[in-house]
């Protein structure tokens, strides 16, 4: 007779609860509403626990390795030597830069350019200690904790992050760069960056976000970023996840979009052993243009997962998702794109594509498109492909004298270029283009992929 295996229950919230009690008892100087927020996060986490493969939204991504990590929240800023941020990607771009070390704002490494009147770019802990009104209005109001244990955990344990506020009508000419550096070497060291970006009506801003490390440890970044974007605002967001290959990275990105706004968000993922972006956008006004654009490059046993929900809550909006993956060795790419069109959201135009290029037979791609359409006058399309390089293209290039390896590289680069070319911020685009070119150059496999 066969016995049914009971999968390991990973709702062991105890160590987290204990850590939370210690943490909360030290948080006396925090405003009360934050304490409440944290408690609600902790309560939610205790209730739902980490997801398992039986959760529909997590069926391709097993987070048991994260659940098994010792929980070591990085609650104190680093004492002593700070890392040199200048060697990391995006660091040479002319920008207002906030640097976070192990999740804590490092003013010594940061520099904010002169800003137009009323604009604020600052560390979250600072903002909460000084005038918490803005944060209070938005923090935790957008991200949904009920289905997201990681966001709940972040809500319980966050210590710092970025607060960006761009008032109505203001344009910030230089990008804002949020640089997260992990230096912690202990397994399970966990940073909980918590960001809030508010761009009021008619404002314009570009946010660059990058996650890097100086170490190769099995640390964990568990980030939450809430975007609140007003009417007619134009916002570009470009995230580059380039964590240590042994690290874990989970991020929730919650966007609340106002009418007529133009929002584009890029997610470029090359790092981490396991990464997952939960991208939720709510198109809460008419005539919104929303583009979610992503590229992941994985090797060895990396897993890069992008899960998104695009909710059309008002008519006449356009949303496009373009995600390309380049997967080598035994690595995996996961894409889950859910488009939800509410009954009122007529004249919705929603498109979604996910294309994967496998550089090795042992790499896998999982794509799950999910359309839920409750309005009748809409255009929704989706497409997913998994494949190898086009043989005819390779032959064409070789027939012109280009060697096979260069030909393959050109084609893989072109595949990445489809995504990178959508980045509007020119220095970021050029830099990422170079990063991909260099990483493909280093890849020994490109020489013999078919």
Partner 1 sequence: MLEIKNLCAGVEGREILKGVDLTITAGEVHAVMGPNGSGKSTLAAILAGREGYEVTQGQVLYNGVDLLEMDPEERAREGLFLAFQYPVEIPGVNSTYFLKAALNAIRKHRGEPELDALEFLSLVKEKMKLLELREDFLKRPVNAGFSGGEKKRNEIFQMAVLEPKLAILDETDSGLDIDALRVVAEGVNRLKRPDNAQLVITHYQRLLNYIIPDFVHVLFDGRIVRSGGKELALELEEKGYDWIAKHEAVTA
> Closest approach of Cβ 359 to partner 1, in Å?
16
The smaller minimum CB distance to partner 1, of residues 119 and 446, is found at 446
The smaller minimum CB distance to partner 1, of residues 301 and 421, is found at 421
Contacts with partner 1, residue ranges (CB under 8 A): 390-393, 395-404, 406, 410-411, 413-415, 417-418, 421
Instruction: Please enumerate in sequence order all residues whose Cβ is within 8 A of that of 291, keeping only pairs 6 or more positions apart, or say none.
Output: 263, 264, 265, 319, 320, 321, 322, 422
The smaller minimum CB distance to partner 1, of residues 349 and 418, is found at 418
Find out whether 222 and 102 touch, Cβ atoms under 8 Å: no
> Closest approach of Cβ 390 to partner 1, in Å?
8
Beta bridge partners of 344: none
C-alpha 418: how far from its chain's center? Answer: 19
> SS3 of 430, please?
helix
C-alpha 271: how far from its chain's center? Answer: 12
> Closest approach of Cβ 397 to partner 1, in Å?
7
Find out whether 222 and 252 touch, Cβ atoms under 8 Å: no
Counting Cβ atoms within 10 Å, is residue 291 exposed (0-12), middle (13-18) or buried (19+)?
middle
> Closest approach of Cβ 367 to partner 1, in Å?
20
Q: How far apart are CA 8 and CA 5, in angstroms?
A: 9
> SS3 of 222, please?
strand
Beta bridge partners of 262: 234, 289
> Closest approach of Cβ 414 to partner 1, in Å?
3
What is the token pair recorded at 142? 């957008």
> Closest approach of Cβ 426 to partner 1, in Å?
16
> Closest approach of Cβ 326 to partner 1, in Å?
13
Find out whether 13 and 49 touch, Cβ atoms under 8 Å: yes
> Closest approach of Cβ 445 to partner 1, in Å?
20
> Closest approach of Cβ 419 to partner 1, in Å?
10
The smaller minimum CB distance to partner 1, of residues 216 and 450, is found at 450
The smaller minimum CB distance to partner 1, of residues 43 and 397, is found at 397
The smaller minimum CB distance to partner 1, of residues 347 and 398, is found at 398
Starting at the edge strand found earlier in the chain, the sheet holding 234-241 runs 104-105, 96-101, 176-182, 204-213, 234-241, 262-269, 289-298, 318-327, 349-358, 379-387
What is the token pair recorded at 419? 């995504």
What is the token pair recorded at 271? 């790092």
Element (H, E) at 305: strand 303-312
Find out whether 60 and 334 touch, Cβ atoms under 8 Å: yes
Q: How far apart are CA 399 and CA 77, in angstroms?
A: 58
The smaller minimum CB distance to partner 1, of residues 112 and 404, is found at 404
The smaller minimum CB distance to partner 1, of residues 377 and 392, is found at 392
The smaller minimum CB distance to partner 1, of residues 14 and 421, is found at 421
Q: How far apart are CA 135 and CA 137, in angstroms?
A: 5
Find out whether 286 and 258 touch, Cβ atoms under 8 Å: no
The smaller minimum CB distance to partner 1, of residues 291 and 402, is found at 402
> Closest approach of Cβ 434 to partner 1, in Å?
14
What is the token pair recorded at 306? 């992008």
């Amino acid at each position: 007779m066969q016995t049914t295996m009971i999968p390991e229950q990973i709702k062991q919230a105890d160590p987290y609860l204990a850590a939370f009690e210690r943490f909360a008892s030290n948080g006396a100087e925090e405003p009360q509403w934050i304490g409440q927020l944290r408690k609600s996060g902790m309560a939610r986490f205790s209730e739902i626990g980490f997801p398992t493969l039986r959760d529909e939204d997590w069926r391709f991504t097993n987070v048991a390795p994260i659940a098994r990590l010792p929980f070591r929240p990085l609650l104190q800023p680093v004492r002593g030597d700070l890392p040199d941020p200048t060697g990391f990607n995006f660091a040479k771009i002319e920008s207002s830069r906030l640097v976070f070390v192990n999740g804590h704002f490092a003013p010594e490494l940061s520099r904010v350019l002169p800003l137009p009147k009323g604009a604020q770019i600052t560390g979250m802990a600072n903002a909460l200690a000084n005038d918490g009104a803005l944060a209070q209005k938005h923090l935790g109001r957008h991200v949904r904790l009920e289905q997201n244990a990681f966001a709940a955990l972040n809500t319980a344990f966050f210590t710092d992050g970025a607060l960006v506020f761009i008032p109505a009508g203001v344009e910030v000419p230089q990008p804002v760069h949020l640089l997260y550096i992990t230096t912690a070497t202990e397994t399970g060291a966990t940073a909980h960056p918590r960001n809030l970006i508010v761009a009021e009506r008619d404002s314009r801003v570009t946010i660059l976000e990058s996650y890097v490390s100086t170490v190769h440890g099995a640390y964990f970044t568990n980030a939450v970023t809430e975007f609140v974007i007003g009417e007619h605002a134009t916002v570009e967001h470009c995230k580059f996840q380039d964590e240590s290959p042994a690290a874990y990275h989970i991020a929730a990105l919650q966007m609340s979009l106002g009418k007529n706004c133009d929002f584009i968000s890029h997610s470029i993922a090359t790092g981490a052993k396991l990464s997952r972006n939960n991208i939720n956008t709510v198109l809460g006004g008419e005539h919104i243009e929303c583009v979610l654009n992503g590229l992941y490059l994985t090797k060895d046993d990396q897993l890069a997962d992008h899960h998104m929900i695009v909710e059309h809550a008002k008519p006449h909006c356009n949303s496009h998702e373009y995600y390309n993956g380049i997967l080598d060795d035994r690595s995996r790419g996961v894409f889950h794109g859910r488009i939800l069109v509410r009954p009122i959201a007529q004249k919705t135009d929603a498109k979604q594509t996910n294309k994967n290029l496998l550089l090795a037979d042992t790499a896998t791609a999982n794509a799950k498109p999910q359309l839920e359409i409750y309005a009748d006058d809409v255009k929704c399309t989706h497409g997913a492909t998994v494949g190898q390089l086009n043989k005819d293209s390779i032959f064409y290039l070789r027939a012109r004298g280009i060697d096979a390896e260069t030909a393959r590289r050109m084609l893989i680069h072109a595949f990445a270029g489809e995504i990178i070319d959508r980045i509007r911020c020119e220095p970021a685009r050029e830099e990422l283009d170079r990063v991909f070119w260099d990483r493909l150059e280093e890849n020994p496999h490109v020489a013999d992929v078919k």
